[in-house]
Amino acid sequence: MTDQPVNYVIIVGPQGAGKGTQAAAVAPQLGLEHVATGDLFRAILKSDSELGDEVRQYYDQGALVPDDLTIRVLFAHIEQLQRGRPDLTGVLLDGFPRNAAQAEALDSALAERGEAISAVVLVDVPRDELMKRLTGRLICADCGATYHREFNPPASEGACDQCGGELFQRSDDTPEAVEKRLGIYYEQTEPILDHYREQGILIEVDGNREINTVTKAILESLKQRVSN
Ligand SMILES: [Zn+2]
């Protein structure tokens, strides 16, 4: 353990807003480690540790990992990072917290350690734009090449540019399926935004612009908040 303070920055956004892309672009420039929750669990499951065993019990039963265990896995991961990266200024959390209960659990776990969240970045894109982005994807049945009806259309409709194969839409990408996933986000994740807005740490970034423009906006707004 080092005495160096850790900056906890959270990135939030609906599917299709480019949150993961932005997190990967922004984190290295601020000395932050991009921590996606899925990767976190994959790493601990591979490790030969007590925490790994605990997580495995839930995975094996197909059960959700409890929030307090997720938080312990996160802290263990940060301590390990700190040992290997003396230049680390903090972490950029991607995928956690996802709902109000997790946000509160994280707040109190941090408070117990005398720590707090530095900033929460919301990459926001209007819902109708997300629908357009997420339902436009087409995949070649033969070679797997991906297209987008609007943003990256094939030269001739319904046929793959590479191999001439037939293009289809995955069942996950139908308007009904996308509406359902977005609905879960707006219902569960939006309440945490109010939680952080009240704390004065929410940064809202318009994600409906060029990728690089969004990256610059996030960097600009985080610069003053992330200390090293
Ligand atoms: Zn093809």
Give me the residue spans of the domains in the chain: 7-223
Is residue 170 flagged as an active site residue?
A: yes
Percentage of the chain with pLDDT > 70?
Answer: 97
DSSP string computed for 132-162: HHHH-EEEETTT--EEETTTB--SSTTB-TT
Expressed in angstroms and rounded, the spacing between residue 162 Cα and the centre of ligand 1 is: 5
Give the model confidence (pLDDT) of 38-49 as tens digits.
Answer: 889 998 999 889
Residues around ion ligand 1, judged by CB within 5 A, are 140, 142-143, 145, 160, 162-163, 165
Expressed in angstroms and rounded, the spacing between residue 155 Cα and the centre of ligand 1 is: 12
Is residue 137 flagged as an active site residue?
A: yes
Give the model confidence (pLDDT) of 18-32 as tens digits.
Answer: 999 999 999 999 999
Expressed in angstroms and rounded, the spacing between residue 159 Cα and the centre of ligand 1 is: 8
When the pLDDT of each residue in the chain is averaged and rounded to a whole number, the result is: 93
Is residue 181 flagged as an active site residue?
A: yes
Is it true that domain 7-223 has CATH number 3.40.50.300?
Answer: yes
Give the model confidence (pLDDT) of 59-111 as tens digits.
Answer: 999 999 999 999 999 999 999 888 988 888 899 999 999 999 999 999 999 99
Residue 35, CA distances (Å) to 42, 78, 156, 176 in order: 12, 9, 40, 30
For position 4, what pLDDT does the model report? 62
Catalytic residue among 127, 149, 181, 216: 181
For position 1, what pLDDT does the model report? 45
Tokens found for residue 103: 């946000």
